[in-house]
Structure 1
Amino acid sequence: MAAPAPSAGTQKRSWLVRTREPRFAAALLIPSVIVVFGIVLYPILRTLYTSFFTVDTPFPGTYPFVGLENYGKIITDPAVWAAIGRTAYFTLLSTALEIGLGIGLALLLNAKLRLRWLFRAIVVLPWALPTVVNAQMWRFILNSQYGALNALLTQLHIIGSYQSWLGSPFLALNMVTMADVWKNTSLVAFFLLAGLQTISSDLHEAAVVDGASPWQRFWRITMPLLKSSILVVLVLRTIEAFKVFDIIYIMTRGGPANGTQSIAYFTYVRAFSDENFGYGSALAYLIVIVILVLAAFYIRALRSSAANEI
């Protein structure tokens, strides 16, 4: 027996439900869209617009249009290239150390040890500290007069007198890098720990039966299967390191002699200290372009890695 056809009233109610649900969903999304536009999209578009003008005040007004002149100044400004060089050094060194130390720490946290949960809780503490607190702490540790590092090294007779760790440009840059590595290595370790836990223990047990040493198991089993996790961490940490600003602002203010001035801090100085907002906006877009290039390169590497695993 065939089912009775729905009445006209039932069909109308069903149509109303189908049309009301998308409208209701759109209404719920409107506040989020407004917030995203106000916090993200509008500043991006406004910065792009400002980069084509000579703007020397944060207040609205009429400013001379200079086209691509600000971008041309970036290419010929030696201070920009010096800041990019320092940023590249900081990015490469900090990322390499964080991944190297993170792999070792992840292997340790993945081992079957007593109180493993306690070790994991302790390791996460440096990353849990706000960057401002971390930077200020290291500033006290590295103080040339009463810093803990000087006291420790002199008592161990490693150095004969107190050193000014933040007093020379290159040494200060390395000290800032060390502070960044101390904070972010734990984050890298936990990312890699998640990758380690996806590796089946049967593979290592079979390798042990075949007589493989721990070093051979690490290079031939762990590292190939951990490659995707390492690439993900490499993407995140490279982008974050290239944008470094806050830890430099707290520890050195870009000094001494601009020795720790990253491209992000250099942009801040040109835009807000020198009140050259047009030039600062162009510099900000330079950072965005570099980050997009890095992201595209890493995404391609991730896709190639995933394709090889399949």
Structure 2
Amino acid sequence: MSARLARRDHLAAWLFLIPVIIVMLLVAVWPLARTFFFSFTDAYLDDPSIYSMVGIDNFLDVINDRSWWVAVRNTIVFTVISVAIETVLGLAIALLINEAIPGRGLVRAAILVPWAIPVVVSAKIWEWMLNDQFGVLNKILIGLGFIDHGIAWTASSSLIMGVIIFADVWMTTPFMVLLILAGLQLISPEIFEAAEVDGIPAWKRFWSITLPMLRPAIGVAVLFRVLDALRMFDLAYVMAASNENVMTVSIYARDRLISFQELGVGSAASTWVFLLVALAAIIIIGALRLDRASGELTK
């Protein structure tokens, strides 16, 4: 009887999984496989049916292109700086709103507003705010006497990367706050109460209790943000188009595919992007597993 029930449960599980598997095949596996196939061809976007196989020539074309390595450098710089700032700010804000402060519920709701706004809308808002002629930021700085004329923030090659990072931090720090706050609320308050009774100072409680117990939540948050930042496209493209100073690997792939109509080379660039993101995911997940294993050993 139990074996029959187990078979029925197994069959029911597969019946529920089949629609999910079909959707995944249609929206993820098939496009990825098609992109991988075209990366070995000399196809053009105007007529993808006409092509011939060229082996790995497209992959070599991408990695021999100076613009590709500029895009890789920009992507890594953007990812490292933005994720680091967002993690620190996210942790600080999560610790603050986790406390019993007046209006905590309102603060939690308000802090999610930047994250809820579509990226394209946020990018245009910041572009207008930073305009050198009518931007509100320049008017405030001029009014305070810090500058005597408007600064073209998004047109300056030395400032544009900082502007993109600032806008990204404003938009996605709430995401980090949300995940870290969820991890904070899983920690039993009794642990902190016992430490406080024992006279352990606040900084030591944070360093020895809060931070170690938050590492899994912070690790997951960093994983999601790194993967998202590595494939960042819309924010930089809306604010700076194909400006080489902020060109990311995704923008590079888009330019080869759309602007130059090179379906084969664009697909090869997209495959390199996929491999870059996959490598980052493997490294971070491996580090999280190693940290978990070392934590279990110390116990």
Tell me what 1:145 maps to. 133
Q: Tell me whether 20-29 or 230-239 shows the greater mean CA deviation.
A: 20-29
| C-alpha separation in 2, matches of 1:18 and 1:117 | 45
- Indicate which of 289, 294, 299 corresponds to 1:303: 289
2-structure distance, mates of 1:43, 1:260? 27
Decide which of 91, 105, 112 is 2:93's aligned counterpart.
105
For structure 1, list consecutive stretches of 5 or more residues without a partner in the other structure: 1-10
2:259 maps to a residue whose letter is S
Say if 2:158 is the partner of 1:170.
Answer: yes
Q: State the alpha-carbon separation in 1 of the partners of residues 6 and 97 from structure 2.
A: 52
- The answer to whether residue 286 in structure 2 is matched with residue 267 in structure 1 is no
- Taking a change above 3 Å as real, the CA distance of residues 212 and 19 of structure 1, as seen in their structure-2 partners, is closer
Q: How does 1:194-273 map to 2 (within 5 A)?
A: 194-255=182-243, 258-273=244-259
Change (3 A) 1:74 1:60: closer
C-alpha separation in 1, matches of 2:195 and 2:45? 67
d(CA) in 1 for partners of 2:286, 2:14: 34
Aligned counterpart in structure 1 of residue 121 of structure 2, from 133, 140, 159: 133
Per the alignment, do residues 27 and 299 of structure 1 end up closer, same or farther by CA in structure 2, a change over 3 Å counting? closer
The match for 1:77 is 65
Structure 1 position 185 matched with structure 2 position 173: yes
Match of 1:72, as an amino acid?
L
Q: Is the 8 A contact 2:97 2:108 kept in 1?
A: yes
Structure 1 counterpart of 2:262, which letter?
N
Q: Does 1:115 align with 2:103?
A: yes
Partner of 2:38: 50
Amino acid at match of 2:249: I
Distance in 1 (CA, whole Å) between partners of 2:91 and 2:12 is 48
- In structure 1, how many angstroms separate the alpha carbons of the residues matched to 2:94 and 2:20? 38
Q: Name the TM-score, length of structure 2 as normaliser.
A: 0.91
Q: What amino acid sits opposite 1:115 in the alignment?
A: G
DSSP-derived class of the 1:264 partner: helix
CA–CA separation in structure 2 for the residues paired with 1:23 and 1:189: 40
| AA matched with 1:288 | F
Provide the rounded CA distance (Å) in 1 between the counterparts of 2:79 and 2:275.
16
* In structure 1, C-alpha distance between the alignment counterparts of 2:286 and 2:20, rounded to whole Å: 31
Whole-Å Cα distance in 2 between the matches of residues 252 and 117 of structure 1? Answer: 37
- Cα distance between partner residues in 2 of 1:175 and 1:197: 33
Task: Return the letter of the residue paired with 2:189.
Answer: S
Moved more, 232-241 or 67-76: 67-76
CA distance 1:28–1:228, change in 2 (3 Å): closer
Give the AA of the match of 1:54. Answer: D
CA-CA distance at 1:134 after TM superposition: 1.0
Which of 5, 20, 23 is the aligned partner of 1:35? 23
Identity %: 35
Aligned residue in 2 for 1:280: 266
1:222-245 per-residue CA deviation (whole Å, 9 max, x = no partner) reads 111111111111110001000000
SS of the counterpart of 2:44? coil
How big is the shift at 1:290? 1.1
Equivalent residues of 2:48, 2:263 under 8 A apart: no
Deviations 1:245-297 (A, max 9, x none): 01112211132xx2111110011001111111111111111111111111111
SS in 1 for 2:159: helix
User: Partners in 1 of 2:51 and 2:62 — Cα distance?
Assistant: 20
